[in-house]
Structure 1
Amino acid sequence: MTPAPGPFRFWWRSYDTESPAGPEWRSIGVSGIQEREERLTGHHLLYGPAPAWADDLLRVSRAVFLADKHAARSRSEDRWTRAFRLSVPVSDPDLWAPAASGPLPALLQTLTADVWDVSLRRMRAAPQQGAFPVGEDWRAQEVALFSGGLDSLSWAATRAAVPGQGVLLLVTYAEKNVEDVQREAYAAVKELGRRSGRRLWQITAGQTSGGRDGTVVEHTSRPRGLLYTSTAVRFAAADSVASVQVPENGQIALNPPLSAARSAALSTRSVHPRTLHLLNKVIESVGGRVKVENPLAGHTKGDVCRAALAAHLPDASLERTLSCGASPRRLRGLPHVNCGTCYPCLIRRAGLLSAMGSDDTPYETAPWRPGLSDDRIRHWRALQGWLAREYSALDLIGDLPLPPGSRTGEWLSVVERGRIELRALVESASGVRDVA
C-alpha cells in the first residue's frame, strides 16, 4: 500500500525575493494571481485606507486560494481530503494568534473539507496605501457582493430601488467569458438606481490563478467564496461600513447533499451559516468591526425571484443571469450561459417557474430530454430521489452543524418550501403529480 503523502507546505512571500524557511516549503505569492495585491490597496477609489487586519485577511484568503489550486486532491489517500501547512505574513502575529489557533482553521476546514495548519509570521513591511481621490459624497453606506447571478441581482435591485440610502457599493469578481452577463446585470440595477435616485458604485476585481508560481493542478475551488468575501470586507472596512451582504438563497446556502454519495465535502459551503459564523469570529478576534451577513438566508429561489420582480426588474433581466455551477460558455466556450442540468440550474428553474409560471432562459439542454448521458442527468436523478425521501431537522444538522443560536426550524422551513418548488418543477417536466 502506498503511504499517504505528507502535508502540502506553502509559504506566501511578503515580497518577491523572499525565500521560504526551508526546502520543504513551496513558495507562492502575488505573482501567482493575475490581480495584483497592489491594485487592491488604493486604486479602486475607496474613501479611506483599509485597516491592517483587513489587508491581512485578504492576504490570508489569497494564500489559501492559491495553495488550494496547487495541491491536487487526487494525491490524498481518499482522493479528496488534503493536509496543508500554510505560512502567511501578517501585520501583528500576536493579534492573529487566537484566530490561527481556533476559528481560522475551522473555517478553512468547513470550506474545503481539508485539514489546515496556519502559521502567521510578522510582515516585513506594511502594504503601501495609494491616494483616495473620492470625497465624503461617495463614501459607501452599503456593501454587497455582486456576481451577476440571480440572487445577487435580486438583492442589488431591491436596494437600488430604495431612495435616500447613500451609496450602494457592489463588489464584482470578473468571470471569464461571462463579462457581458455581469455588465447587463449591473446595467439593470443601475437603471433602477437612476429611477430612485440611489447612487451606485461598482468595483470589479479578478483572481485568476497561474503565472510564475506554477500551473494549476486542482480544478475544484472551494475557498474561492472566501476570497471574494474577504475582498468585499476590505472595501467595507476602508469605508467604515458595518456589514457586507453576501446574497445567497437559503437552499443553496445550506446546500444539503442530495444523496449519501454527495457529502458535505462535495458541496460548496461558501455561504453556509456555519461558514459565515466562523468568518465573523475570525474578524472579531482581530478587532475587526465588519460583519458578514446573508440577507437572503430565509428565502427560497422563488422568493428571490419574486423580490426581484417586486423591485420592477423585467423578466428578461432575470432570465439573462448566470446561475450555473459549470457554465458551458465559461468552461467550453459555448454560447450558452447556463447548462440547465447542474444542481444550481435546477434550483434556478424551480425558482423562476414558481415566481413567473415559466422560464425562458436559453439553457444548453434539459435533464428530461431523451438521449442525454448519465453524467448529464445524474443531478436530476439525485434530486428526484431526494424529494422522494423525508427531510428532517436531523438531516439538516447531521450534514454540517449550524452555528450556536441558530433557529433550526426556520432553516428547515426554507428547505421544505424549496422542496415544494422543486417538486413543481419535476411535475411540470414529467406530468407526474406525486413525486414524494
Structure 2
Amino acid sequence: MSNVTCTVHGVRKGLPLRKARFEFGTAPVWTVQGSFGPRKLTPRGCDLIDIAGAIYRVESQIHKRATDPAILWELTVPVRDPDFWTRTGGALLGACLGFLNRSRWIFTFTKRPDAVDFVRPAPDERPVGQITLFSGGMDSLSGAGSDEGPRRAIQLVSFYHGQAKLQSELAAELGYQPPTQWRLTGRRGKKGMNFIRSFMFLCLGAAVAESFGTKRIVQYENGVLGTAVPQSGNFVPTRHAHPETHRRVVKLFDAVFESGFTILNPFLALTKREVGQQLVHTIGAKKAEPLFRRTETCWYLFQPKVGGLDKANGQPCGVCTPCIVRRTARPAEASAGAWSDWPGYAFDLKDTRFGEHLIVGTSFRGYLELVDIALNAADDTALIDELAPEARALIDDIAGPDEALVAGVLRRFANEFCDTFGIAQPGQKAKARKAAKT
C-alpha cells in the first residue's frame, strides 16, 4: 500500500520533528458526483488531485506551535508519473504550497504501482466554457448568481463534507446544472493547519476543466480577504485567492495539462457587502435574501467551544475572521430571531465581554487597528505604508493588486465596519466634539 509521508521542521532545533502520513489505500482517493466532461485525465492529472488531497489531509495532522513555526516540509509522495513530478512538477508544486504557508517544500517522488483512479460519472457532452468554484458560501453564491454567462456553459465545482445537499440546492435555485462535487477519503485532523485547502479546491476545478476542454476557472472571493491583508502584524492570513496564488497555480496547471489556464477573481476589488449587492442587483432582494440566509461562513460552525467559551453546535461564532467580515456585509444578521430559527452569533462583539475577551476578541481588535489605518491615512501610499510588512510585500502596481485597489477596498470596508459595530469615524468624532461645545 502506498503512503505519503511528511516530516515538518520548525525553527527550534531542540524540539521533536512533527510527522504525518496519508494512506492512498486500495480504494479511490476521491468520490465524484455530478457532471464531468468526456475527456479523460492523464496520469499526471490524476496525480495532481491525489497529491492535493493527500497534502490537505497531511497538513491537518501537523499541529501549530506558536514558538516553533514550520519552515520546512519534507514529503515522500508515490505518483503515477514520477519522471514528470521529479523533473518539472515538484518545483512548481512547491512554489504554490510555499507561498500559501510561508515554508519551503522538498519532495521525493516514487512510483505508485497500485494507483486507483476515481470512478468517473457518465460523460457530459455539453459545451462548457467556464468552471466556477462553488463552496456554497456567500461569495461563491453571489458570484455564480450574478454571472452574466449562460448557465449551461458554466460548470460549478464543489468540495464537500456535509454540505453536498446545500450546494446542490443553491445551484439549482440559481439555474445551474448539478455541481461536480468531490469528497475526499479520510478525516481532517482537529488541531492541524489549514493553509492548503484553496490549492486543493483549485486543483479539483482544473481537473473538471480539463475534462470539458476548457481552461477558464473563476474563484469568487471578496477583496478584504482576497488581497490577504492581515488585520494587524500579529495575524497570518491565508492567501487562498491572492493573485500571486493564482499565478503560481496557473504555471503548475499549464505544466500538468500542457495548455494555458486562466484563473480569475471578479470580486477582488469589492468588499463583502458589495459582493452581496451584486447578487441583489442581478436577481432581486426578494430572491437573494433567503439564499443568503442558507450560506455558511464560520470557521468554527460545528465546534462546541471557541476560545474556551461554550457555543451551540451549528451556530456561527461571530468572532472568527470570516464571521466578522460577513457581519459587515449583513449587519442585520447579528441578533437572534432576525428570521425564523436564526440563532444569531454565539458571541456579539458589540458586547465588551467578547470584544475585549483575551481570545475571542483578538481578531476584532486586530480589525480595529486596520480600520484606524484605513480611515486616517492621508492617501493611498500612506495607507499602504502603514500596513503590516507581509501585506506591503504583496501589493504591486504591475502584477497586482495595486495600491489603489487595496486602499479603496480597505477604506470602504472600514466604513462598513464602523457602521456595523457602531464605531465613530474620524469625521464623526470631530462633529461630535463641535456639537458638544455648542
Could you say which TM-score interval applies, normalised by the shorter chain? 0.7 to 0.9
2:273 is aligned to 302
Deviation, structure 1 residue 86: 1.0
Measure, in 1, the Cα distance between the counterparts of 2:422 and 2:30. Answer: 54
1:365 is aligned to 347
2:77 is aligned to 88
1:380 is aligned to 364
Which whole-Å deviations, capped at 9, do the CAs of 1:309-345 have from their partners, x for residues lacking one?
Answer: 1221422322332122322568788255422222212
Of 54, 57, 76, the residue aligned with 1:66 is 57
Deviating more after overlay: 142-151 vs 286-295? 286-295
Summarize the alignment of residues 34-113 of structure 1 with structure 2, pairs less than 5 Å apart: 36-37=28-29, 39-40=31-32, 45-74=36-65, 78-100=67-89, 102-113=91-102
SS where residue 89 of structure 1 aligns? Answer: strand
Summarize the alignment of residues 214-233 of structure 1 with structure 2, pairs less than 5 Å apart: 216=189, 218-233=191-206
Which whole-Å deviations, capped at 9, do the CAs of 1:147-167 have from their partners, x for residues lacking one?
Answer: 1111000111123x644x534
Of 295, 301, 309, the residue aligned with 1:327 is 301
TM-score w.r.t. the length of structure 1 is 0.77
1:205 is aligned to 182
Matched, 1:156 2:140: no
Measure, in 2, the Cα distance between the counterparts of 1:64 and 1:31. Answer: 15
Which whole-Å deviations, capped at 9, do the CAs of 1:47-67 have from their partners, x for residues lacking one?
Answer: 332233321211221232232
Summarize the alignment of residues 16-415 of structure 1 with structure 2, pairs less than 5 Å apart: 28-31=22-25, 36-37=28-29, 39-40=31-32, 45-74=36-65, 78-100=67-89, 102-124=91-113, 127-128=116-117, 130=119, 133-137=122-126, 139-159=127-147, 162-163=149-150, 166-176=152-162, 179=163, 183-184=165-166, 186-193=168-175, 199-207=176-184, 209-210=186-187, 216=189, 218-262=191-235, 266-289=236-259, 290-312=261-283, 313-328=287-302, 334=312, 336-352=314-330, 360=338, 362-372=344-354, 373-389=357-373, 390=377, 391-392=383-384, 395=387, 398-399=390-391, 400-401=393-394, 405-409=398-402, 412-415=404-407
SS where residue 74 of structure 2 aligns? Answer: strand
Stretches of structure 1 that go unaligned for 5 or more consecutive residues are: 11-26, 194-198
Measure, in 2, the Cα distance between the counterparts of 1:249 and 1:236. Answer: 23
Which whole-Å deviations, capped at 9, do the CAs of 1:120-176 have from their partners, x for residues lacking one?
Answer: 234436655756533423x533211111111000111123x644x534322222244
Contact preservation (8 Å) 2:206, 2:215: no
Identity of aligned residues (%): 17
SS where residue 426 of structure 1 aligns? Answer: helix
SS where residue 184 of structure 2 aligns? Answer: coil
Contact preservation (8 Å) 1:259, 1:382: yes
CA 1:131–1:365: 2 relative to 1, 3 Å: closer
SS where residue 311 of structure 1 aligns? Answer: helix
Aligned length: 391
Amino acid at match of 2:169: A
Deviating more after overlay: 248-257 vs 412-421? 412-421
1:24 is aligned to none
Deviation, structure 1 residue 268: 1.2
SS where residue 208 of structure 2 aligns? Answer: helix
Contact preservation (8 Å) 1:69, 1:221: yes
1:3 is aligned to 13
SS where residue 48 of structure 1 aligns? Answer: coil
Contact preservation (8 Å) 1:73, 1:80: yes
Alpha-carbon RMSD across the aligned residues, in angstroms, is 3.5
Measure, in 1, the Cα distance between the counterparts of 2:161 and 2:294. Answer: 15
SS where residue 47 of structure 1 aligns? Answer: coil
Which whole-Å deviations, capped at 9, do the CAs of 1:260-298 have from their partners, x for residues lacking one?
Answer: 211xxx221121211111111112233433433323222
Contact preservation (8 Å) 1:73, 1:82: no
Deviation, structure 1 residue 253: 1.3
Contact preservation (8 Å) 1:143, 1:171: yes
SS where residue 219 of structure 1 aligns? Answer: coil
SS where residue 277 of structure 2 aligns? Answer: helix
SS where residue 84 of structure 1 aligns? Answer: strand
Measure, in 1, the Cα distance between the counterparts of 2:173 and 2:58. Answer: 40
Contact preservation (8 Å) 1:167, 1:200: no
SS where residue 38 of structure 2 aligns? Answer: coil
Contact preservation (8 Å) 1:65, 1:227: yes
SS where residue 136 of structure 1 aligns? Answer: coil
Which whole-Å deviations, capped at 9, do the CAs of 1:221-275 have from their partners, x for residues lacking one?
Answer: 211221222112111111112122221112111221122211xxx2211212111
Measure, in 1, the Cα distance between the counterparts of 2:388 and 2:216. Answer: 27
